[in-house]
Amino acid sequence: MSFKNYIDITPEIEAAIRENRPVVALESTILSHGMPYPENVEFAAEVEKIVRAEGAVPATMALINGRIKVGLTAEELEIMCRAENIGKVSRRDFATYLATKQNGATTVATTMMCCEMAGIKVFATGGIGGVHRNGENTMDVSADLQELANTPVAVVCAGAKQILDIGRTLEYLETMGVPVLGNGTEDFPAFYCKKSGFGVDYAAKDEKEIANIIFTKWDLGLKGGALIGNPIPDEWALDFDYMEGIINDALKEADEKGVRGKHITPFLLARVKEMTKGVSFASNKQLAYNNARCAAKVARELCELSK
């Protein structure tokens, strides 16, 4: 029994991990279910370029034809971006997709699983999943939160979208013992917006300090990951109240159409994008680039500390 029988790590990534050089994991749900084709192809190439420019190796994850892919070829990236028959794979779906050879995009939760199997410590995403609004009744809590509690990966995000109940999301993370660190900010960001109205646990001054906290956590033998809130750059930030109006309309529509479960996140993301007429898409790309840069710096500092 070994996950090694199922995993393909590219030689470049494998060598970087072995030699303690920085690697940054990237997810594929953002490509297959978060962005339109063919703009997502350009995005995928750009985000990998940014990681490289910061001296780290990018590792985009996906499940393709019964294999766990750590690092995708241009051809495989194209498959994920075209998103024809590509499911959204959370932890519960992981074995099913591999055993039945269905192609699947990895969420934050499953990208973290791939990281742990491959030995990658840092992962950049856009926004994490969380407790949904009205989650106290629907019990819709993203598996991302449970993964952060258990799997030793540092996840750099621009916070959580306002589609979620951000207060309860942070409460859940506290209960599960997940450190939430701000990169140069005291505010937990809300994806398109710099502030959610909720604070982080600790406002770190830079990536070096973030890496030091994460290193210490793991050095102590504490299990689980860490969440880094990296706010969207000023020039791309959108107005909180404007977004609140849009999101409330999208939530109402989802409710009327009976959209639930794993479909709710992609539905809301698509509706928000349509309603903001693409303005949000430009911001979405920029915040993800910003997170890739931050993650590469954290990965670099962690490698220094592990020497």
Does residue 129 bind ligand PSU (CB under 6 A)? yes
CA dist 189 → 4, 89, 183, 279 (Å): 37, 26, 10, 18
Residue 269 or 299: which CB sits closer to Mn ion? Answer: 269
Judged by CB under 6 A, which stretch of 26-34, 50-58, 173-181, 229-237 contacts ligand PSU? 26-34
User: What is the distance between the terminal CA atoms of the chain, rounded to a whole angstrom?
Assistant: 31
Does residue 107 bind ligand PSU (CB under 6 A)? yes
CB 147, min distance to Mn ion, A = 13
Residue 161 or 297: which CB sits closer to ligand PSU? Answer: 161
Catalytic-residue membership of 27: yes
Asked if 295 contacts 226 with a C-beta cutoff of 8 angstroms, the reply is: no
Kindly report the backbone phi and psi dihedral angles of residue 88, in degrees, each rounded to the nearest multiple of 5, phi listed first.
-105, 115
Residue ranges of alpha helices (H) inside the chain are: 11-18, 29-32, 39-53, 74-82, 94-99, 108-118, 135-138, 143-150, 166-175, 207-219, 240-257, 264-275, 279-305
List 88, 121, 161, 194, catalytic entry: 161
Distance CA 280, CA 236 (A): 9
Asked if 230 contacts 180 with a C-beta cutoff of 8 angstroms, the reply is: no
Residue 29 or 183: which CB sits closer to ligand PSU? Answer: 29
Q: Would strands 226-229 and 202-204 be described as parallel, antiparallel, or unpaired?
A: unpaired
Q: What is the DSSP letter of 85?
A: T
Residue 71 or 126: which CB sits closer to ligand PSU? Answer: 126
CB 153, min distance to ligand PSU, A = 13
Judged by CB under 6 A, which stretch of 16-24, 125-133, 192-200, 249-257 contacts ligand PSU? 125-133
Nearest CA to 192 out of 298, 279, 292, 296 is that of 279
B/e letters for 254-281, b = 16+ CB within 10 Å, e = fewer, are beeeebeebebbebbbebbbebbeeebb
Secondary structure (DSSP) of 157-168:
ESB--TTB-HHH
CA 233 and chain centroid, separation: 18
Judged by CB under 6 A, which stretch of 114-122, 136-144, 178-186, 233-241 contacts ligand PSU? 136-144
List 14, 27, 76, 147, catalytic entry: 27
Place of tokens 């590219």: 10
Judged by CB under 6 A, which stretch of 8-16, 102-110, 148-156, 219-227 contacts ligand PSU? 102-110
Does residue 140 bind Mn ion (CB under 5 A)? yes
Residue 112 or 211: which CB sits closer to ligand PSU? Answer: 112
Q: Which listed residue (22, 34, 58, 231) binds ligand PSU by CB under 6 A?
A: 34
Site track for ligand PSU across 143-172, x = CB under 6 A: xx----------------x-----------
Catalytic-residue membership of 209: no
Site track for Mn ion across 155-194, x = CB under 5 A: ----------------------------------------
* List of residues contacting Mn ion (CB under 5 A): 140
Residues that bind ligand PSU (CB under 6 A): 27, 29-30, 34, 90, 107-109, 126-127, 129, 142-144, 161, 191, 262, 265, 269
Residues with a catalytic annotation lie at: 27, 161
